[in-house]
């Protein structure tokens, strides 16, 4: 590898920050059952402690995304969360309101036909904005389970209007430095129509909401065969890509480890982002977050594996020969243009990443270093035999 590539990779990794989801450290499962792990985090403090481990060994995960109901329930103050952040070396990141768990949301939240339910959902969103403000969190990350299961049961246009109004009111409550991220997903839990089903709907709603709203793309929230990198490219060109949720899938929203099924897809997504940055000279302001369900692998280890994969694939995209790519595209030399992508994807960037880690004072192999630390053995003893507290997912 030429020295210039090693340097490019170091520069790229210096800026790649990945947010960890608090819920990725807690016991989760499928809709058929929850599988309990003796080392799973059960309290907000334990989630911060585990996230702190991932940041300690990878050096690139300074923030933890929080779920309002699960992590900041009534009685927990911003000062409490702040103290945890200081203790474990990670700060509160994006705030995720929860307008899908409560019984009143059976038929939707902001899109619910019943005005009192819409009002309750809006109040929770406004409370979440305030919580984010108190915590110094920039991003309010919104995903709605709203939708319907049977044709004819929902007024799709009215619901769109209610969603737009709710987002506009939420946006109006934000501080000037805060952002609203609007996530979309084609189905589940609703199986006939979903109120924010795709990137076009997110984009329109974000524009209705106000200038600080952006779209959040989650890899698993697309139909099979959808060209996600094209969506990313379009949102970048509109300055509307605000966040990206890392995970991988084989069938639907599987929430598998990023890059485990289709690392080339992830590479193509990063390639669009890096190409945009090279061409425009602008740094894309994208909040990268892990959004996976760690059911079977050890949660902290899977998180470290995810971060290492993200760094590796991002490094491959960063060393793309963009001047040559632009030239081959313009000259319509298809094989040569395509091979530029394949060459970068095939490059073994791991030696350069190990070098970058050494320079940062990190272990060359974060996973091995974490395993050798004895942390899991220690918390397995400390956390054994305690009931899971509240937190839930899937």
**Which positions touch Mn ion (CB under 5 A)?**
218, 245, 291
Q: Nearest approach, Cβ of 218 to Mn ion (angstroms)?
A: 4
Q: Nearest approach, Cβ of 216 to Mn ion (angstroms)?
A: 7
Q: Which is nearer to Mn ion, 229 or 328 (CB)?
A: 229
Q: Nearest approach, Cβ of 183 to Mn ion (angstroms)?
A: 6
Q: Nearest approach, Cβ of 189 to Mn ion (angstroms)?
A: 14
| Alpha carbons 217 and 72: distance in angstroms, whole number | 25
Peptide bond into 189 cis (omega under 30): yes
Q: Which is nearer to Mn ion, 46 or 291 (CB)?
A: 291
Q: Nearest approach, Cβ of 197 to Mn ion (angstroms)?
A: 14
Q: Which is nearer to Mn ion, 6 or 293 (CB)?
A: 293
Q: Which is nearer to Mn ion, 39 or 128 (CB)?
A: 128
Provide CB contacts within 8 A for 258, sequence distance 6+: 219, 246, 247, 248, 266, 290, 292, 306, 309, 310
Give the tokens for residue 251.
């069938």
Q: Which is nearer to Mn ion, 144 or 162 (CB)?
A: 144
Residue with tokens 């009143």: 104
| Alpha carbons 238 and 128: distance in angstroms, whole number | 27
Residue 369 burial (10 A CB sphere; 0-12, 13-18, 19+): middle
Provide CB contacts within 8 A for 279, sequence distance 6+: 322, 326
From 382, 245, 355, select the one nearest 8 (Cα to Cα).
355
- Tell me the DSSP string of 146-170: -EESSTTSS-HHHHHHHHHHHHHHH
Residue 134 burial (10 A CB sphere; 0-12, 13-18, 19+): middle
Q: Nearest approach, Cβ of 313 to Mn ion (angstroms)?
A: 19
Q: Nearest approach, Cβ of 116 to Mn ion (angstroms)?
A: 28
| Alpha carbons 132 and 163: distance in angstroms, whole number | 21
CB 290 within 8 A of CB 23: no
Q: Which is nearer to Mn ion, 19 or 229 (CB)?
A: 19
Q: Which is nearer to Mn ion, 139 or 291 (CB)?
A: 291
């Amino acid at each position: 590898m030429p020295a210039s590539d090693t340097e490019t990779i170091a520069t790229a990794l210096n800026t790649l920050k990945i947010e960890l989801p608090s819920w990725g450290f807690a016991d989760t499962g499928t809709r058929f059952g929850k599988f309990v792990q003796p080392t799973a985090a059960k309290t907000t403090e334990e989630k911060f402690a585990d996230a702190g481990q991932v940041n300690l060994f990878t050096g690139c995960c300074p923030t933890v995304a929080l779920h309002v109901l699960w992590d900041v329930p009534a009685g927990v103050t911003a000062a409490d969360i702040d103290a945890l952040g200081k203790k474990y070396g990670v700060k509160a990141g994006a705030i995720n309101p929860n307008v899908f768990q409560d019984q009143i949301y059976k038929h939707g939240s902001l899109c619910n036909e019943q005005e009192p339910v819409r009002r309750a959902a809006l109040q929770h969103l406004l409370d979440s904005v305030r919580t984010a403000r108190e915590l110094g969190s920039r991003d309010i990350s919104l995903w709605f389970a709203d939708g319907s299961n049977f044709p004819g049961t929902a007024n799709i246009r009215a619901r769109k209007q209610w969603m737009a109004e709710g987002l506009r009111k939420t946006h109006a409550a934000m501080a000037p430095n805060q952002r609203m991220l609007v996530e979309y997903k084609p189905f589940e839990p609703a199986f006939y129509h979903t109120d924010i089903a795709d990137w076009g709907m997110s984009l329109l709603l974000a524009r209705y909401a106000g200038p600080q709203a952006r779209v959040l793309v989650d890899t698993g929230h697309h139909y099979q065969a959808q060209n996600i990198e094209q969506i990313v490219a379009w949102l970048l060109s509109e300055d509307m890509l605000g966040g990206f949720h890392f995970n991988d899938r084989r069938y639907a929203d599987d929430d598998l480890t990023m890059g485990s099924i289709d690392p080339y897809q992830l590479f193509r997504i990063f390639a669009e982002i890096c190409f945009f940055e090279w061409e425009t000279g602008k740094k894309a302001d994208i909040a990268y977050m892990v959004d996976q369900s760690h059911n079977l692998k050890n949660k902290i280890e899977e998180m470290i594996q995810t971060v290492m994969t993200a760094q590796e694939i991002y490094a491959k995209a960063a060393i793309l020969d963009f001047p040559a790519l632009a030239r081959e595209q313009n000259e319509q030399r298809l094989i040569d243009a395509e091979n530029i992508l394949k060459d970068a994807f095939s490059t073994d960037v791991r030696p350069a990443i190990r070098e970058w880690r050494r320079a940062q004072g990190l272990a060359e192999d974060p996973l091995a270093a974490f395993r050798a630390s004895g942390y899991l053995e220690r918390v397995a003893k400390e956390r054994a035999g305690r009931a899971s507290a509240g937190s839930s997912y899937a």
